[in-house]
Structure 1
Amino acid sequence: MNLYNKIEVVLENLIKFIVVLLLAVMTMVTVIEVGRRYILGLSFPWAEELVRFSLVWVTFVGASMAFKKGDMVVFDMFTGSLSERKRNILAVIMNTLLIIFLAFLFHYSYKFSFSPVIVKQISTGLGISMAIPYSSLPIGFALMIFFGAGKYPALLKNCRGEGGN
């Protein structure tokens, strides 16, 4: 197993742990909040923010795992009519275009997430810098770029295998 694959496995396990932990926190806090509001008519001022910020993290970090596993939405009506060789070539092109687009999103989400306006802005409920919830965007996009780059060996192998090279 090469270094890239080892890093990929560590990241995959870390992402799974983070997503499961955040989903558990979201569930616990939501259940407690519903109970408190129903029984006591009270709520924690930070609970809604914690659930919202956790959902954002689960969405962007979890999307990187869906991207890695190929579980993203795909429109295959057009590609289904192509030969296998053309589908493989198209897959390489699409992966490249997607990585370019993700790099664009990463660049601007990083600039925005760590701009002075966002870093200095403090959330009302949790009292944390808004850079923390916003940082889920560049982290998610960076993970998708990393996993997208990891698809090239298999994609190129499929292209060469069909071409007889």
Structure 2
Amino acid sequence: MTKSDLVFNKISKTLEWIMILIFALLVLDVFLQVASRYVLGESFTWTEEFARFALIWLTILGAAYLNGKKEHLSMDFLYQKFSVSNQKKVAVLIEVLIFLFALVVMVIGGLNLVYTTLYLDQLSGTLRIPLGYIYAVMPFSGFLIMCFSVYHISEILNKKPAI
């Protein structure tokens, strides 16, 4: 196992635990909302907003995680028809396109969104959290996807299984 494999596994495992923690908090939050509604007769005002933010983080981090594990949705019918050398070229092209998408849309666009919302002092309605902190998951996940793409390209070029 190479050093890059160890780093990849460590990042993936850390991401798994972060998502497990967010999911546990989400379940606890929804349970608290339902229980308070039936026990107290009214629900806490912050639980709906927290659930929305937790779901945003869980979804975007989950997309990065699945990209790293190569378990995201893909249609490979045409890909399977290519020769092995063409499969390798297409796999590298796909990873380069994923890298560019993550760079332009998620990192650059996400940083712009974070900067704008922090600059304008936009706060969430109930929790009064600066929205830039909520949106920070976008450039973070984009950076992870870029790192995973570089790892996958090195995997492909070193003749490990492509897809």
TM-score (norm 1): 0.88
Within 5 A, what are the aligned runs for 1:145-156?
145-156=146-157
AA aligned opposite 2:143: A
Structure 1 position 119, deviation (Å):
5.6
CA RMSD of aligned residues (A): 2.0
Counterpart of 1:68 in 2: which secondary structure? helix
Q: What do the CA deviations read for 1:69-117 (whole angstroms, capped 9, x no partner)?
A: 1011111121121112211111011111111111101111111112255
Contact 1:29/1:47, CA 8 A, preserved across alignment:
yes
Is the alpha carbon distance of 1:117 and 1:129 closer, same or farther for their aligned partners in structure 2, counting shifts above 3 Å? closer
Contact 2:117/2:132, CA 8 A, preserved across alignment:
no
CA distance in 2, matches of 1:156, 1:8: 17
The aligned length equals: 160
Unaligned 5+ runs, structure 2: none
1:23 equivalent in structure 2: 23
1:49 equivalent in structure 2: 49
Structure 1 position 6, deviation (Å):
4.3
CA distance in 2, matches of 1:80, 1:5: 26
Identity %: 23
Unaligned 5+ runs, structure 1: none
- 1:69 is aligned to 2:57: no
Counterpart of 2:29 in 1: which secondary structure? helix
AA aligned opposite 1:59: T
TM-score (norm 2): 0.89
Q: Which has the higher contact order (CA 8 A, sep 6+)?
A: 1
Structure 1 position 67, deviation (Å):
0.3
